[in-house]
Structure 1
Amino acid sequence: MTVLSPRPRLVVLDGYTTNPGDLSWEPLEALGELTVHARTPPEQVAERIAGAAVVLTNKTRLDASALASAPRLRGIAVLATGHDVVDGAAARRLGIPVCNVPEYGTASVAQAVFALLLELANHTGGLAAAVRQGRWSACPDFCFWDEPLLELAGLRFGVIGHGRIGAAVAGIARAFGMEVLSQRRTPQPGDVDLDTLLAASDVVSLHCPLTPLTEGLINADRLARMKPGALLINTGRGALVEEAALAGALARGHLGGAGLDVLSVEPPAADHPLLAAPRCLITPHVAWASRAARGRLIAATAANVATLLAGSPINVVNPG
């Protein structure tokens, strides 16, 4: 008589944003007994991961106490590139590898950078709304605008963090005729230091990971070093920027505007200072979320899970 081994238990803690229903979980269902929770509050994390072989999370935190309550856990698969939601050191002590997806949304995030930048430069959304409100029909002239329109060609575009996404963004900036300045952790020929980049750039775009060294990287002092009228774009992590300092720089008119897809706390409190800041565009952390990118994310995560189950994990971010 053949006794079949039970299928490994796979648990997704916060599947809704990755797949709100327009994609299939089939690549993961093929690997084990899959349970998908749309969302998991902190107090239910330990209960839901108990007995799991692999836990999948996007933004639900896995701290040391939660990990200690899951003795059967063979791996953690982060449904993202950033992995700061997992206590990687605690997982390493417990012998639990943590895998991320290094590349899935490069094209989508780079596109979002320029969606924000072009709105700051051309005010397309605001002007289209004004036309719908009847302002063009009532205009005595053949055209109108409320704020200056900015031509990107010839401006300097500063990229802080020149990995896959930063490199893609730099390529698009060059296609617009912009001069690109780069700053990265390991300098390459032609790179500039951070202070030089901030002082010289008309647009600064953040693409570095969130680490103890980069948290609060763009603070009041560094905002003051930026060119008057410069634009700041952040599609990386909200905590790269000291948000109260940015709100102040916008209120004083030192910066020409900011385009943000991320904030330090998501969703933000209703009284967050940047929600009322002038010339500040904020989108709800959706740069990564095109259907194409999310499909690649699920496929790549399934590959990570397969290697975790096989005992030969790839894309490990907390190596022992």
Structure 2
Amino acid sequence: MTRPVAVITDTGELDPEPGVGLLDEAGFEVRVVGSPDADAIAAAAHDADAVIVGYARIDGALLDRMPKVRMLATMSAGHDMIDTVEASRRGVWVANLPHSATEDVAVHALAQALSLTRRLPQADAVVRAGGWSTDFGEVPRRAGEMTLGLLGMGRIARTLARLAAPVFGRVTAHDPHAADWPDGVERLDLDDLVENADVLSLHIPSTPRTRGMVNADLLARMPQGGVLVNVARGDLVDPEALLAALDTGHLAGAALDVFPVEPPDATDRLRTHPRLLLSPHSAFLTDASLRAYATEPARNVIAWWTTGRPHTPVTVPAGVAAPASDSTARTPRTQGASA
């Protein structure tokens, strides 16, 4: 009997072997491409049943070259690298990892927010330059007198709200799609959220509607001396508008874990601006999350092969009925804004 074929695209810093082992034990032939290149993926996956996706772009043109594929499993919570509408139309499942790094990303966002509100990068620079407290020009505000605003109320934002509630005086959020709303978080419309957020943290996906959403107008409506945190997607923020707000001092700082182009060019001011606190798309990164990112996509593929359905579907293929109780799988046209 011919073994089913699973292909793993680009793996980045991940060791794919734990996932390869699970798939092999389940009877799969596994091929690791190790590249996001479409030609390399198509060559390896021409007869594949399932593809595990890193950052590689999977669109209709590539799906044409993988005619047997009926399962796409991402190695992340994000799935914007896949054309989910086209996949669903072709009868292809798409599954993601909604839980694997939720706590890690939320903790990272809180750490960035507190680092900026406490002016830790500036304090570090003062000491390294030979100065002391009398040379510290920017006095931090008390976090208990500040408002944290969350744009999006998905799993990460809800976890961040829980962690931040004892620290910030007020936690607010905006998400017109969220049904699960935590106690203690004020639900505001977008204008009120932005105008009251001393710290604005982004937790929405990249869509045609949200790309560039954090523009000059939105930043200008934030309170003077506000802080922006982005652990979501780099293209949510207009980089020139952000740099201008930092240059004028309207924003006291911004923390970026994601960038419009990754990694940013060495000459990009997003790398060098003194009011920016940067991390290399590492908010998810812990020993536990690395294990999960290798094994859980494989488990999604195995579940699909053995039961006809992955554990954590993002979309249900056209023509497949979703269970009435299933709140995780959504058709591409009804996906919420939460991330």
Q: Distance in 1 between matches of 2:315 and 2:162?
A: 31
Deviates more, 1:45-54 or 1:61-70: 45-54
Out of 31, 41, 44, the position equivalent to 2:37 is 41
Q: Is the 8 A contact 1:46 1:66 kept in 2?
A: yes
**Other-structure match for 2:21:** 26
Out of 152, 156, 163, the position equivalent to 1:165 is 156
Q: Distance in 1 between matches of 2:195 and 2:120?
A: 28
Q: Distance in 2 between matches of 1:146 and 1:28?
A: 57
Amino acid at match of 2:130: R
**Other-structure match for 1:151:** 142
Out of 73, 76, 92, the position equivalent to 1:77 is 73
**Other-structure match for 1:184:** 175
Q: 1:134 to 1:214 in 2, by over 3 A?
A: closer
User: How many equivalent pairs are there?
Assistant: 310
**Other-structure match for 2:329:** none
Out of 267, 270, 276, the position equivalent to 1:280 is 276
Out of 231, 252, 267, the position equivalent to 1:235 is 231
Identity percentage of aligned residues: 33
Deviates more, 1:39-48 or 1:148-157: 39-48
Identify unmatched segments of 5+ residues in structure 2.
319-339
**Other-structure match for 1:313:** 310
**Other-structure match for 2:258:** 262
Following superposition, the deviation at residue 24 of structure 1 comes to 6.3
Q: Distance in 1 between matches of 2:114 and 2:242?
A: 20
Q: Distance in 1 between matches of 2:196 and 2:129?
A: 40
Following superposition, the deviation at residue 316 of structure 1 comes to 2.5
Deviates more, 1:179-188 or 1:101-110: 179-188
**Other-structure match for 2:330:** none
Following superposition, the deviation at residue 306 of structure 1 comes to 1.2
Q: Distance in 1 between matches of 2:89 and 2:139?
A: 56
Q: Deviations over 1:39-76 (max 9, x none)?
A: 33344222122221111112111121111111221211
TM-score (norm 1): 0.88
Amino acid at match of 2:206: L
CA RMSD of aligned residues (A): 2.4
**Other-structure match for 2:331:** none
Q: Deviations over 1:117-171 (max 9, x none)?
A: 232133445545664x5726xx6x8x75354334312210001111111011111
Identify unmatched segments of 5+ residues in structure 1.
none
Q: Distance in 2 between matches of 1:34 and 1:309?
A: 14
| SS of residue matched to 1:167 | helix
**Other-structure match for 1:198:** 194
Following superposition, the deviation at residue 30 of structure 1 comes to 2.2
